[in-house]
Amino acid sequence: MQYYSWILAFHVMSVISWMAMLFYLPRLFVYHAEHADNKGFVEVVKIQERKLYYFIGVPAFWASLLSGVAMLALNPALFKSGLWLHIKLTAALLMILYHLSLRFFLKKFATDSCTKSGKFFRAYNEIPTILMIIIVIMVVVKPI
């Protein structure tokens, strides 16, 4: 438990970095889908999408996951502290699935085969916000 607070601080910083990618990449997908006919623009956006996902999103994801697992390993009593943790972990699992779905769309855009509209990605971009609200309420307020 000596390093628990340091791991927690690292976890929060990692999640903030991960969330930045989860919030911004779908916005790039909106621009990509809405300007698919502008080849020069699309080539620049493809570079941004790839770098954002692989250079920020993937390392931040792994840092978040590993630090979260480390905290649970150091303090397994958390599992008995209430339903809040189980709801938080379920929301985190859904966030991981969302992250993986962004990789799916990234690959589709890279091969110019994504048929989803900008409107779809505007709505899709709300998913991490909803999950983040659930996670923060569960961790801070612990209502159940």
This prediction's pTM: 0.93
Residues of the chain with pLDDT under 70: none
Using DSSP's 3-state secondary structure scheme, residue 103 falls into helix
First to last CA, the chain: 25
Angle CA 126–88–86, to nearest 5: 140
Q: What is the pLDDT of residue 18?
A: 98
Helix or strand (DSSP H, E) at 84: helix 83-110
- Whole-angstrom distance, CA of residue 1 vs CA of residue 72: 11
> pLDDT digit string (tens) for 8-48?
999 999 999 999 999 999 999 999 999 999 999 999 999 99
Q: Which two tokens stand for residue 72?
A: 């649970």
